[in-house]
Amino acid sequence: MPFPDAAPLGTVNGMTHTMRAISQDTLGGPEVLREVELPRPEPGPSQILVRVHAAGLNPTDWKHRALPGLFLPAPPFVLGWDVSGVVEAVGFGVTLFAPGDEVFGMLPYPHGHGSLAEYVTGPARAFARKPDNVDHIVAGATPLAALTAYQALVDTADIQAGQRVLIHAAGGGVGHLAVQIAKSRGAYVIGTASAGKHEHLRALGADELIDYREVDVATVVRDVDVVLDTLGGENPRRSLPTLRPGGLLVTLLPSAADDLRAAAAEHGVRFAALLVEANHAGMTAIADLLAAGTVRPTIAGVFPLAEAAKAHALGETDRTLGKLVVTVR
């Protein structure tokens, strides 16, 4: 349903009925993004209304902005799934949070988008309390990428101390957090990344790094327990020989999943295709890792809401290390 042209609706008890947001009317490059004024949402049952302070960006943001045939219907829409902010109001039935609580979380993927705005609603159980020792920028950068890595490595692969884990695109948003989560579990971590990112990834705990531009990982890596593929294409199939018998390939881009499952079976390994899910327990576990200092997102850049298009343009170069964040307050 198209967004209406929202006229200023005034305020009641000091609360505005409208908000700034970054919307688009058509698919295309970063230039299709524009700042608009929209009605402020209200929380329904089991939902909270969050006053957004920061919203992290992920590759899915610029892909949905530009490409047809993904998860969302045609625009107009407001993108953004990562959010950190303050609870403004709660809907009926919410007991986890109260107005004034600082929270962070991932809006339900893919249809719960909308964090590139001053306010957003979402299920209370998609959020966790923001740790006191991280600011909204760090918290806003974390949810989707960290949840993806956590659900792949912990919930799906159940990696254990001493196991060998191969993480593709270890310098990316998911990858650099996956390195830290795997190390927190006591794994031996092998990462693929361009040479310029190796020093930083070693500082995050990576045990072995491979420059994918110079070396075919399938020729030099063997006997890993888990492969985390964040690239898709031919990469998951080419990664099968690196796994030990009974090992597990987890891919985040499940194109040709049936063919990959069959190929994995031929190699005597297992296969799983993961789509990240909003989850209170996972967010709470990630909050604990942030609070302990065990996991920290690398911030590649911070942009005000009005410059969201610049953040998109930088992100889709695929040259950043870590996460880009849009600040609202």
Evaluate whether 218 touches 238 at the Cβ level (below 8 Å): yes
Taking only the tens of pLDDT, the chain with its 329 residues reads 333 333 333 443 445 799 999 999 999 999 999 999 999 999 999 999 999 999 999 999 999 999 999 999 999 999 999 999 999 999 999 999 999 999 999 999 999 999 999 999 999 999 999 999 999 999 999 999 999 999 999 999 999 999 999 999 999 999 999 999 999 999 999 999 999 999 999 999 999 999 988 999 989 999 999 999 999 888 999 999 999 999 999 999 867 688 899 999 999 999 999 999 999 999 999 999 999 999 999 999 999 999 999 999 999 998 899 999 999 98
11-142+297-327 and 145-273 in the same fold:
no
CATH number of 145-273: 3.40.50.720
Beta-strand pair 18-24/102-106: unpaired
Contacts of 67 (CB under 8 A, 6+ apart): 27
* Other CB atoms within 10 Å distance of the CB of residue 35: 14
Instruction: Report helix, strand or coil for 313.
Output: helix
Q: What totals of helices (H) and strands (E) does the chain contain, helices first?
A: 10, 18
Rg over CA atoms, the chain: 20
Q: 92 exposed, middle or buried (CB, 10 Å; 0-12, 13-18, 19+)?
A: exposed
Flag whether the pTM goes above 0.85.
yes
Element (H, E) at 308: helix 308-315
Q: 257 exposed, middle or buried (CB, 10 Å; 0-12, 13-18, 19+)?
A: middle
- Rounded to 5°, angle at Cα 290 from 61 and 88: 65
pLDDT of residue 2: 38
Closest CA to 323 of 198, 172, 152, 194: 172
CA distances (Å), origin 92, targets 97, 106, 124: 12, 21, 11
278 φ/ψ sector (left φ>0, alpha ψ -120 to 50, else beta): beta
pLDDT of residue 258: 82
Beta-strand pair 127-129/18-24: unpaired
* 39: β partners: 18
**What are the DSSP E strand ranges found in 73-214?**
77-78, 82-90, 102-106, 119-123, 127-129, 164-167, 188-192, 208-210
Evaluate whether 76 touches 104 at the Cβ level (below 8 Å): no
Per-domain boundaries in the chain: 11-142+297-327, 145-273
Residue at 171: amino acid letter: G
* 150: β partners: none
Instruction: Report helix, strand or coil for 230.
Output: coil
Evaluate whether 192 touches 171 at the Cβ level (below 8 Å): no
pLDDT of residue 136: 98
State which fold the 11-142+297-327 domain adopts.
Answer: Quinone Oxidoreductase; Chain A, domain 1 (3.90.180)
